[in-house]
Structure 1
């Protein structure tokens, strides 16, 4: 051992001075680390855990600074959106959501914008792989359970084939139905004598067909302002089986109001265009402000109240923004509500056509009045912190067919027309349809 020590000492002394200094420093550091023993957590020792229960009023500090309190339900306004005869649904249609497949749509992108969990979509698509091949113009409709889970999905593959998927436990059972009737076209004409609904019913249209006409012309006409003597012609394709009409499809409509003609013709994509192939819808902006602000609380139809444990859906998106920020109408429409309204604070609701409604809450100042027409981009209010709010923000909602959807992902109405071969095919169809829409 002494021989080893002498050998090491001799080798150390023969090193250049800088090397001796460096080696000595490393030795000191090594000894210091060896002596220092940090406390180490051993999993076999149970840690001391203390549960702390917060009072309801203490939850405020745990949530986004600019939002609605998480320990309270959705800040629903005191007033519902006014409805009229045109909003009436077909018997048995309550709770049914409908969607026409458009360019770029997938089963997931369609259903998740309505708040349906991706796990439900994945389960359905994995068990029924054909649903991955949706085509433009096809229609989907679905119903949900009380907890917001997907209960049933109906896929109209074609006018003759319909597939229904019903939830049974953790599976979806598929049922196929093939129509066997004959499709025949018929033109129904009428003249307003009272409301459009009663006049169209007298002309032979059922409630579903009347709704289809209203939806097709919603961007061109205010049906509440039609006058006595206005005329209409409707081209329906109806399936008849055993002498009864089983289902129908609107192919085209012409409305003459105050001497002016309005047309809507159905294209192969399931949407309606004018006689030149131009889009009838009015385009929407994605955001109700001039620039995009931080999202303090997202759309969440399954949000749980942490105090009650009940589902308290958040039907819109909260944008944190300074008080006084201009709030804009996202699309053309009519103001139906502009007032102070309970937990929503100062509140504006705008109706766009007959399908879409937008809501804007917690405003500081209202710049519009009920009944006022607004254009896309018009200033309607200044953002604020009124009502039940934890900080300056704007709560914004988008509703389609009386159902709240995610404003950040929903398919928005667009005003572009048909192009290329789609347009030439459509114009050929127009030449066949328009001559049939003769008024008496």
Structure 2
């Protein structure tokens, strides 16, 4: 060890003086760092430093999970003209308090009702009142009404033409089931007419009720714009009605044939409750799930019973917010017509599209609108650029889907798809259509 130390000292002495100074300084600094220990301050030995920061309402909003939408105002409540109507809506308007749904493949009671924002607690209470609700079948009909606060008030399950079950809410939140077995006789009848004025008034003169007229319009909504029918156009409707004591208790549209400007349009009901053309091909136009080229992060979910954290009042969020950069192209999710393209105050620059007669979509807080009212658009067309206009606390796109004038969850809603019948279902359907077609001949045939 001494020999090593002697060799190091000799080597150090042989270095030039500037080098010896630098090396010595580095050695001293290294030793100082090695033996140094920081002084630890104990909280008990010092007074805490407190700083109060005052936040105004806008600053507070930016810290909340709902930051993409203001919490002191309901930015999503439609204006009077935000859910537009026309003469057909006025003639055969849907009841705002009643909702209907046809069970589709893969549906459960939970998946069917949850897309409309019905609380899972209400759904569980329904199932507890009748376990049979876990066995929904394709083509069955669900109808329900809500309370003022958005809770489920009652639900009707049309199991078949003969059996209906109604579930009514009790004061404790449970449901009571009442079964009804119809004993009437179902009869098929054909009603024909010629358009004179509006289709609704002409169909009513031919013997159809407002509900039946609405069902005819919905069956042909993807093929025909009923506002553009002309005087002299003709129609034939095959309706199955249940007769009780000489009166129609309920009815079901089986088929319809409409001729306009020399062109024939058909729709027939299949066992799944949907309508197809004469060959079994689907009539509905397919929808995209998202209004952008790619999917963006959801910054605020659909919640029709959202509680305002500031006011404590129910402030429904009738769509979903996507966190998208300003200027992102916004696309039409389906074929349709532009109903609104304007600055809507709280909604900022927004676009409303109508798809057929049952569906509407809305796109809010745009930086730029690229379409005009009355314009026809195709699925995937650019209708605007995302932005931060209106009552918005950050760049995002607010997107809504409405079915039968009822806002639904855009992420889970059952949207139309272009699909047709196959296999045994198609064979059964074509056999039925073959027997119905001769009954739908028009007077001019």
Distance 2:184 2:66 in 1: 60
Partner of residue 115 from structure 2, selected from 83, 99, 113:
113
Q: State the SS of the aligned residue for 2:342.
A: strand
Q: CA 1:340 to 1:422, structure 2 compared with 1: closer, same or farther past 3 Å?
A: same
Deviation at 1:60, TM superposition (A): 1.8
Q: Distance in 2 between matches of 1:331 and 1:130?
A: 36
Q: How does 1:41-440 map to 2 (within 5 A)?
A: 55-64=56-65, 67-78=68-79, 79-88=81-90, 93-168=95-170, 169-440=172-443
Change (3 A) 1:152 1:261: same
Q: Distance in 2 between matches of 1:98 and 1:65?
A: 30
Q: How far apart are residue 94 of structure 1 and its match?
A: 3.5
Alpha-carbon distance, 1:55 to partner: 4.8
**2:112 match: secondary structure:** helix
SS in 2 for 1:236: strand
Contact 2:184 / 2:242 at 8 angstroms: preserved in 1?
yes
Which deviations, in whole Å up to 9, do the C-alpha atoms of 1:24-57 show, x marking residues without a partner? xxxxxxxxxxxxxx99xxxxxxxxxxx9996533
Aligned to 1:5: none
Between the aligned partners of 1:397 and 1:409, the Cα distance in structure 2 is 12
Aligned residues between the structures:
393
CA distance in structure 2 between the partners assigned to 1:230 and 1:390 by the alignment = 52
Q: Secondary structure at the match of 1:256?
A: strand
1:391-418 deviations in Å (ceiling 9; x for gaps)? 1110000000000000000011111100
Task: Write out per-residue CA displacement over residues 283-317 of structure 1, whole angstroms, 9 at most, x where no aligned residue.
Answer: 10000000001111110111111222110000000
CA contact (8 A) 2:68 2:321 kept: yes
**Would the aligned equivalents of 2:267 and 2:276 in 1 still touch at CA under 8 Å?**
yes
Q: Distance between the aligned counterparts of 2:93 and 2:292, measured in 1?
A: 39
Alpha-carbon deviation of 1:255?
0.3
The alpha-carbon deviation at position 435 of structure 1 amounts to 1.0
Q: Conserved in 2, the CA contact under 8 Å of 1:74 and 1:313?
A: no
The one-character-per-residue Cα deviations of 1:187-227 (angstroms, maximum 9, x if unpaired) are 00000000000000010101011001000000000000000
Distance 2:350 2:263 in 1: 36
C-alpha displacement at 1:245, in angstroms?
A: 1.1
| Cα drift, residue 180 of structure 1 | 1.2
Q: 1:265 & 1:281 partners in 2: Cα distance? A: 13
Aligned mates of 2:58, 2:333 — CA distance in 1: 35
Whole-angstrom distance in 2 between the partners of 1:430 and 1:365: 48
* Contact preservation (8 Å) 1:59, 1:71: no
* Structure 1 residue 368, shift from structure 2 partner: 0.5
CA distance in 2, matches of 1:89, 1:411: 27
CA shift in 2, pair 1:53/1:234, >3 Å = farther
Cα distance in 1 for residues equivalent to 2:258 and 2:183 = 33
- Look up the SS of the partner of 2:62 in the other structure: helix
User: RMSD of aligned C-alpha atoms?
Assistant: 2.0
The residue matched to 1:189 in structure 2 has which SS?
strand
- CA distance in 1 between partners of 2:122 and 2:92 (Å): 27
TM-score by length of 2: 0.85
CA contact (8 A) 2:255 2:436 kept: yes
The question of whether the paired residues in 2 share the 8 Å contact of 1:75 and 1:388 is answered with no
Shift of 1:89: 7.3
| More divergent stretch after superposition (266-275 vs 165-174) | 165-174
- Aligned to 1:434, the other structure's residue is in SS state helix
Using a 3 Å threshold, how does the CA distance of structure 1 residues 404 and 208 change in structure 2: closer, same or farther?
A: same
The alpha-carbon deviation at position 127 of structure 1 amounts to 2.3
- SS at the partner of 1:102? coil
Please report how far the alpha carbon of residue 100 of structure 1 lies from its aligned counterpart in structure 2 after TM superposition. Answer: 0.2
Distance 1:229 1:195 in 2: 11
| Structure 1 residues 64 and 306, CA gap change in structure 2 (3 angstroms) | closer
Q: What SS class does the counterpart of residue 426 from structure 1 fall into?
A: helix
Deviations 1:331-379 (A, max 9, x none): 0000000011101000100000000000000001111000000011011
Contact in 2 for aligned 1:124/1:171 (Cα 8 Å):
yes
